[in-house]
Structure 1
Amino acid sequence: MSTTDTDVIDATHATDVGGAVTLTDAEMDPHITHAATRRWLADQGLPSGGGALLRFDAVREDGLRRVADLVGEADKLAEELRDHLVIGALRTLDRDLESLVLDGATGEVTTTYFYGNPGHLDLAPLAPSLEALLRFTEATEELAASRGQFASYEGRFGQKAVGEASRALSAVFEEHAGDAGVPPYWKMAALIRPLARIAGPGDGLVLDLPRRLLDEEFGAAGIMRFEDVDFPPALTHEPTRRFLREVGLPEDGYMFQLDTEVPLPTLTEYCTDIRCDDFTTDELPLGSDHLIRLGHLIEDTSLVVDGATGTVLAWSEPDTTLRPLNTDISTLAFTLWLLHREKSLDAEHDLSAAYEQLAATMTETLAQVDPVACDPTPLSATDDGWRYWPEIFEDQAGGALYA
């Protein structure tokens, strides 16, 4: 959108030095009057590349832009919002989630979406200052990578590590949150992001889940463990067989219903014997006689495991398409556990009040453990890049994340 010289500060003098974008007094006048914010932007500046959670390209490329210059029908905006400044974006994996908005008078950073009626523009708190925002982000990213102030967490997994990491991350947020308290996005980060540390590397599987983790979460009576007689000959992947025997899966995982009525069939057997009137063999995916059906995600989507490799996939009946779901049975179980944990946390902390941010946090946490479950990069000629778990998390109407 075109703007006048008085609407947007000229970006031609924005300086990118040592990976940080700094601004001059002239570039900050007249919209940034908060002294501490002016000092920060002049000295430390903003990371030119942002990071995994933030992006500040707009400041380097376009300078500071007012909210009033980026929305249609700006006259409908509340007057106190018009001179707020859009400085970048809050990100999630491969896309921008929300716009970052700076209050030049107070230094507070909020987020918003630019859509709908500008008269109802909603700003959600994110940080009391730019300094706090960058500290929050740095701590979250360091925990995920086990570096910096969280370097001591390298190789540490289990309930104790999760609890300690959650408390340590919360302490960072609380130290810099100010009188208003920790904003919802960071509160959910402290509660959910450490859950990625519940299990370390497995033998033949991605994760070595604690033996009774699912029992404790779903109740021992809600976990189904299999015997060798339940496995079809096509299930030759021994780590998967061992997991199903020793750890098992929840019969009701909210988004997944385990089929316990019959011995585990191959997808070919399921479609030709049980659903013989609904499918022809031509509609089945290649290698369907080596895909073992464990149950269904939703009524028209079967969850199957490749009997030779242990890869977990989703087969959509309406479009007869086979898509990656999880790397293996251990990360499938982690996903179901994570979803169940989130519901308990939501019941206690009302995390879903900021639903979009919660969905992003869940996807980022799952991606840390199982990138395949969230990465839309096609893995085959027939893979369209659609991924079940991120879509389910983001579907607010479906309400998967509500307690």
Structure 2
Amino acid sequence: MSTTDTEVGGAITLTDDELFSYITHDGTRQWLTGAGLPGESTLMGFGALRDRGLRRVVELAGDAERLAEELQDQLVIGALRTFDRDLESIVLDGVTGEVSTTSVRPDAALMDLSPLAPSLEALTRFAAATEELTVLHGRPAPLTSLMPLTPRDTRFGPKAVTEASDRLSAVFEDVAGDRVPPFWRMAALIRPLARIAGPGEGLTLDLPKRLLDEEFGAGGIMRFEDVDFPTALTHEPTRRFLRETGLPEDGFVFQLDTEVPLSALSEYYDERPEDFTAAELTVAELPAGADRLIRLGHLLEDTSLVVDGSTGAVLAWSEPDLLLRPLNADISTLAFTLWLLHREKSLDAAHGLTDSYDHLAVTMTQTLATVDPLACDPAPSLPGDDGRRYWPEIFEDRTRGALYA
């Protein structure tokens, strides 16, 4: 197979002989033997094409007799990617050059096509434009072609979000007109939200003033006073954030404790045993350092959201699993996550994003990972950590429907 050096990000190409009779579309043949497909991408991977060459869907699907006719000769060239794994297959129509996605399933009758791009050239252009919004060492890369380089602080905030969204939409519409595929339409609406806040001092993000008030309503934000803080909460940036910015009382999947004083997890269990649905816990079963883990509220039944009073790290404590898992890097990225979820619901109401639920879940996870990689990274980082991460799971759980407006 004719490929350039993918280890240094070169393009993946094929020879004319390797295209066989599968691809008759002239523009597609020229693209695959010329410019090729990106060897490195955060949005999609083409390793299968590099390693195995062109393969038809009919060769991969189980129970191929039940496969829809329009799918049988589609060519698998890669996969959409999320933070830690490949997802849907990217398939190519060798006659028209159109690119779609599908999920290869044991029951072939359940497989269908979702449009992704009118051509490989458009796919490459769309991906390159979108990746200008991805992370470089924890911060978004400058939008060198979509936005002019300006002083750092002007590349964040509401105006930066709007400009990035508008210019990204223009890239897609320039090629696809009013038929922009859902994956890219939601990319233009959701991914620029990662630019709402610039770097903070002592915390990951410096959220724009009144951002949460404008999103949740001023009456929906709880701000704390020093008297509300337990002695174990010594992390000053966290204290300042809770005093000055606050948190939404109702974040859909997070409920803030407002009727009881903030307390360390160990004190919470001592003082309110009647609140627990799990079996009574012993001191030995509480996570290490429970006396410095401050309970802010709950995520799901039997799952507490806690902040490490010493470091400011935000974690989820599961009673059923007796396990402490990373949730967010700190209080600022927790607030961003709740804002992102609330904003997505407004956008879904206006644009019907959940009509392509799986693509939306991927987009939400990647957008959060842009700002807070820890929130999505399954690599174990705590004793007993099983790699489960709350936010990607809640985004992907269609039955729970956290993303529906």
In which range does the TM-score fall when normalised by the shorter chain?
over 0.9
Task: Tell me if structure 2 keeps the 8 A contact 1:173–1:182.
Answer: yes
Residue 262 of structure 2 is aligned to residue 264 of structure 1: yes
Among 121, 132, 137, the residue aligned to 1:131: 121
Identify the residue that residue 114 of structure 1 maps to in structure 2.
104
Q: What SS class does the counterpart of residue 211 from structure 1 fall into?
A: coil
> Which residue of 213, 216, 223 corresponds with 2:214?
216
Quick one: distance in 1 between partners of 2:194 and 2:239?
Answer: 24
Name the CA distance, whole Å, in 2 between partners of 1:364 and 1:282.
37
Given the alignment of the two structures, is residue 309 of structure 1 paired with residue 311 of structure 2, yes or no?
yes
Comparing 86-95 with 143-152, which one deviates more in the overlay? 143-152
Q: TM-score, normalised by structure 1?
A: 0.93
- Alignment match, 2:27: 36
The one-letter code matched in structure 2 to 1:313 is: L
The one-character-per-residue Cα deviations of 1:184-236 (angstroms, maximum 9, x if unpaired) are 00011100100001011111111111120000000000000111111111111
Contact 2:147 2:163 in 1 (8 A): no
Q: How does 1:26-105 map to 2 (within 5 A)?
A: 26-47=17-38, 49-105=39-95
Kept after mapping to 2: 8 A contact 1:272/1:279? no
Q: Are the equivalent residues in 2 in contact too, given 1:50–1:57 (CA < 8 A)?
A: no
How has the CA–CA distance of structure 1 residues 380 and 353 changed in structure 2, closer, same or farther, with 3 Å as cutoff?
A: same
Q: Please give the TM-score of this superposition, normalised by the length of structure 2.
A: 0.93
Residues 291-311 of structure 1 deviation map (CA, whole Å, 9 limit, x = unaligned)? 111000012100111111111
How far off its partner does 1:242 sit? 0.7
Runs of 4+ in 1 over 3 A off after TM superposition: 13-18, 150-154
> Residue 120 of structure 2 aligns to which amino acid in structure 1?
L
Mapped contact 1:153–1:161 kept (Cα < 8 A): no
Alignment partner of 2:240 out of 226, 234, 242? 242
Residue 158 (structure 1) aligns with: 157
> Secondary structure in 1 aligned to 2:281?
coil
Partner of 2:138: none
**Secondary structure at 1:294's aligned position in 2?**
strand
Q: Does structure 2 conserve the Cα–Cα contact (< 8 Å) formed by 1:107 and 1:129?
A: yes
Judge conservation of contact 2:71–2:113 (CA < 8 Å) in 1: no
Query: 1:366-403 CA distances to partner (integer Å, 9 max, x unpaired)?
Result: 11111111111111332221111111111111111111
Contact 2:169 2:188 in 1 (8 A): yes
- TM-superposed deviation, 1:93: 1.4
**1:25 Cα deviation from its structure 2 partner:** 2.6
Equivalent position to 2:131, from 131, 141, 145: 141
| Counterpart secondary structure, 2:270 | helix
Cα deviation for residue 29 of structure 1 reads: 3.0
Structure 1 unmatched runs, 5+ = 1-12
Tell me by how many angstroms 1:116 deviates.
4.1
**Counterpart residue identity of residue 271, structure 2:** D
Amino acid aligned to 2:268: Y
Whether the aligned pair in 2 keeps the contact of 1:14 and 1:63 (CA below 8 Å) is: no
Query: What is the count of residue pairs matched by the alignment?
Result: 389
Amino acid at match of 1:157: F
RMSD of aligned Cα (Å): 1.6
Distance 2:147 2:27 in 1: 30
- Which string of whole-angstrom CA distances, capped at 9 and with x for unpartnered residues, describes residues 121-167 of structure 1? 21000000000001000001112222541463572111000000000
What amino acid is the match of 1:337?
A: W
Residue 20 of structure 1 and its aligned partner are, at CA, apart by 2.1
Q: How does 1:1-16 map to 2 (within 5 A)?
A: 13-16=1-4
Aligned-residue offset at 1:94? 1.6
Report the CA distance between 1:16 and its aligned residue: 3.3
Q: Look up the equivalent residue of 2:4 and give its one-letter code.
A: D
